[in-house]
Amino acid sequence: MVHRNLLYGLAGVLVLMALLLMLPKKFEMLKTNGEPNHLHNQHQTKVSKDRLRVAPSIDNSLSPPCGEVCDFSIHKSKGMSFVKKNFNCHNIFLRLKYPPGKVYKPPLREPPKELLDAFTQNGDMALGSFYMDGTTASKGSVFKIEDMNKLIKDDKELKMIGSYGRESAKFKNGLSKYKSELTGKSGIVIGSIRPWIEVMLINIGVKHVTTVDYNSVIFEHPQISFKLMPDLADESIKNQPPQFDFAASFSSLEHSGLGRYGDPINPYGDFEAAAQIWCMLKPGGLFFLGVPASFGKRKGTLDYNAHRIYGEARIEQLTANFEEIYRFHTGIHGVFVLRKRV
């Protein structure tokens, strides 16, 4: 009996030791399974299993609700040519300063499952795959006065200066149609790395252009200034948002919120970017917006994480509170000439 009790006791000790040895692995499994499922899908681990991380983020508890900006259940009322929404500009710029989404480096290969309906606008955006990692930090570009003068001269001589070849030239043709409304005015250009839009505007006759981007760029020209997006958000929160006569953006908003460039994940990122521009325009101000678009087709495509291709369902939401006065294709991109309505 004594020997049997000793054997039972020894067996119990061995079982306890085995359990203790298993605990670290068990905790590691719990730690892994506690993360969002989209961080552990098969495609994502192919990128770099040990490199995937959530970048340090600012306190997004200060981010207010998005409100009607992000509500795509609101449509055009009878007799209205555009979607009318209530925009709270103070909250819009607070969300720019304190974005609610997470930053992933490298970017996610597919949208988080819990945000899939929002990203696809409840099925109005077909989901495709086109992965790009643009999170590698780039040094700020410097365009010296001689570089700027050469670009201005080349544009006057009808040489190609744009980043999109013939599409850039067609975009300028669209700008030129509104020369009378642009001459002597001050405006803003969103998402510009190379100042081809700014140069075209100067040659059309604008007084001054402010370029806004997340990456610092220096333009040595008296008619062009630069602001970092966070600085613009700060100024707009502390004071009133700057009031510009016009705004222009080409091939920029379709990337907003997809994380490709290290921006916070946000299914409504493009809606919020357009709303920010609305808040910075004077009543009646013009917005020249170029994004990939399929005119006449309701559904668009979300090629995650590269870009969106807009169908009419998302165009309606993207251009909320703007009256569309003209549209044309430059190629892949559709250009919308919009007027701010209040």
Residue 264 belongs to what domain range?
141-340
**Taking a C-beta distance cutoff of 8 angstroms, is the pair 213, 191 a contact?**
yes
Domain for residue 44, yes or no? no
pLDDT digits (tens, 9 = 90+) for 321-339: 999 999 999 999 999 999 9
Domain for residue 120, yes or no? no
Domain for residue 122, yes or no? no
Domain for residue 109, yes or no? no
- pLDDT value, residue 31: 34
In this prediction the pTM is 0.83
CATH number at residue 317: 3.40.50.150
3-class DSSP assignment, residue 258? coil
Number of domains in the chain: 2
Is residue 33 over pLDDT 80? no
Structural tokens at position 293: 């678009």
Domain for residue 73, yes or no? no
What CA–CA distance (Å, rounded) separates 66 from 262?
21
Domain for residue 71, yes or no? no
Give the residue among 184, 156, 160, 183 at the shortest CA–CA distance from 171: 160
- Asked if residue 289 and residue 153 are part of one domain, the reply reads yes
- Asked if residue 152 and residue 9 are part of one domain, the reply reads no
- Asked if residue 12 and residue 148 are part of one domain, the reply reads no
- Asked if residue 150 and residue 19 are part of one domain, the reply reads no
Domain for residue 286, yes or no? yes
- Asked if residue 17 and residue 155 are part of one domain, the reply reads no
Domain for residue 79, yes or no? no
Contacts 24+ apart (CB under 8 A), 169-172: 170/328, 170/330, 170/331, 170/335, 171/197, 171/200, 171/250, 171/288, 171/290, 171/330, 171/333, 171/335, 172/200, 172/204
pLDDT digits (tens, 9 = 90+) for 173-226: 999 999 999 999 999 999 888 999 999 999 999 999 999 988 888 999 999 999
- Asked if residue 150 and residue 23 are part of one domain, the reply reads no
- Asked if residue 300 and residue 155 are part of one domain, the reply reads yes
Structural tokens at position 302: 């979300």
Is residue 32 over pLDDT 80? no
Is residue 35 over pLDDT 90? no
